[in-house]
Amino acid sequence: MTAELIDGVQMSLAVRAEVAQRTAALRAAGIQPGLAVLLVGEDSASHVYVRKKVKACEEVGVRSILEQHDASISEEALLARVKAFNQDEAIHGILVQLPLPAHIDPQTVIKAISPAKDVDGFHIVNAGALLTGTEGFSPCTPTGCMRMLDAIGYELRGKHAVVLGRSNIVGKPMAIMLLSRGATVTICHRATPDIGVVTRQADIVVAAAGKARLLRGDMIKPGAVIIDVGMNRTEAGLCGDVDFESAKAVAGWITPVPGGVGPMTIAMLLANTVTSAEQIAL
Ligand code: GUN
């Protein structure tokens, strides 16, 4: 068997077209959606991600402000910038790119973002909304993964979904989203003794552990759906958390890296920013 590819680029174009239409409607009403992006330090992957986000904004008519700060910025100074954007009526979304330097507590910074402008969905108010099934902003990467599962018409109810990784950004919210759609969910992480025993029972695996080629074909149930969130820079180049070649031979569906989850993450950020502008301005 060779798995069918889930084309994140193609799917993200459909989301972007929808976003561009909503942006045009807002602009016709005299409102331009605005996103403030705060980037601290020199993390090269963060610079690449942020550049992609800013470019995507431009392409759909969202105004973006990229504010770069030296790694030595104090937590107080960064909090002051976040608070200034909270007050700025032209800004509808605020994104602080993670990771932050060790002397800055990410939770303190995220807590300072107005929940109404938290288009990353990281604020505890939005995290709580997701947990309780209440309206709020959902984190972009897991939301993008759900859109991909929906786009292939996959019924989650009654299925066993396994999430690799327990981060606040992907693993935990992903598990909640799958659970809320009726899947039986298992989360594996660093301390799980043998993840293959678990993943071989999975109808769906979302790999978000941040470990190159963690999930191999021999750990996958034939026909399973494999969503690869990983973006690992190795000597052999960029690779996901899934060993693509061996996994593709066993899985029913699989996302590539690059060209899978990444473009959908960006598309969901645009969608959240436009939603925020609609909620604040209309
Ligand atoms: N770092 C890695 N992924 C993300 C993301 O989705 N948002 C932010 N703010 N930082 C990240």
* Cβ neighbourhood burial of 92 (10 Å; 0-12, 13-18, 19+): buried
**Do the beta carbons of residue 147 and residue 15 sit within 8 Å?**
yes
CA–CA gap between residue 40 and residue 89 (Å, rounded): 23
Q: What does the pLDDT look like over 54-92, one tens digit per residue?
A: 999 999 999 999 999 999 999 999 999 999 999 999 999
Question: Which residues of the chain are under the pLDDT cut of 50?
Answer: none
**Do the beta carbons of residue 26 and residue 274 sit within 8 Å?**
yes
Q: What's the confidence (pLDDT) of residue 191?
A: 98
Pocket test for ligand 1, best of 38, 97, 100, 231 (most atoms within 8 A of CB): 97
Q: Which CATH number fits domain 31-115: 1.10.630.10, 3.40.50.1360, 3.30.70.990, 3.40.50.10860?
A: 3.40.50.10860
What atom in ligand 1 is closest to the CA of residue 139?
6
Residue 129's alpha-carbon distances to 120, 139, 152, 222, 226, in angstroms, are: 13, 11, 27, 35, 27
Gap from CA of 146 to ligand 1 centroid (Å): 17
Report whether residue 12 contacts ligand 1, using a CB cutoff of 6 Å. no
Q: What's the confidence (pLDDT) of residue 199?
A: 99
Q: What does the pLDDT look like over 37-55, one tens digit per residue?
A: 999 999 999 999 999 999 9
111: Cβ contacts below 8 Å, ≥ 6 apart: 123, 124
122: Cβ contacts below 8 Å, ≥ 6 apart: 110, 113, 139, 168, 169
Closest CA to 3 of 275, 242, 279, 197: 242
Which residues line the annotated binding site? Answer: 165-167
Gap from CA of 252 to ligand 1 centroid (Å): 29
Two structure tokens written together for 258: 């690059």
Q: Is the ipTM of this complex over 0.85?
A: yes
Report whether residue 113 contacts ligand 1, using a CB cutoff of 6 Å. no
CATH placement of domain 140-262: 3.40.50.720
* Catalytic option among 117, 118, 120, 172: 120
Asked if 68 is an active-site residue, the reply is: no
4: Cβ contacts below 8 Å, ≥ 6 apart: 152, 252, 253, 254
Q: What's the confidence (pLDDT) of residue 267?
A: 98
Q: What's the confidence (pLDDT) of residue 133?
A: 97
Asked if 218 is an active-site residue, the reply is: no
Q: What's the confidence (pLDDT) of residue 40?
A: 98
Q: What's the confidence (pLDDT) of residue 280?
A: 87
Residue type, 194: D
**Ranges of CATH 3.40.50.10860 domains, the chain:** 31-115
* Cβ neighbourhood burial of 44 (10 Å; 0-12, 13-18, 19+): exposed
CA–CA gap between residue 212 and residue 219 (Å, rounded): 15
Residue type, 269: L
Asked if 97 is an active-site residue, the reply is: yes
Pocket test for ligand 1, best of 35, 54, 66, 98 (most atoms within 8 A of CB): 98
Q: What's the confidence (pLDDT) of residue 282?
A: 74
- State the pTM of this model: 0.97
Q: What's the confidence (pLDDT) of residue 15?
A: 97
CA–CA gap between residue 110 and residue 162 (Å, rounded): 28
**Ranges of CATH 3.40.50.720 domains, the chain:** 140-262
* Peptide bond between residue 258 and the one before it cis (omega within 30 degrees of 0): yes
Q: What's the confidence (pLDDT) of residue 281?
A: 79
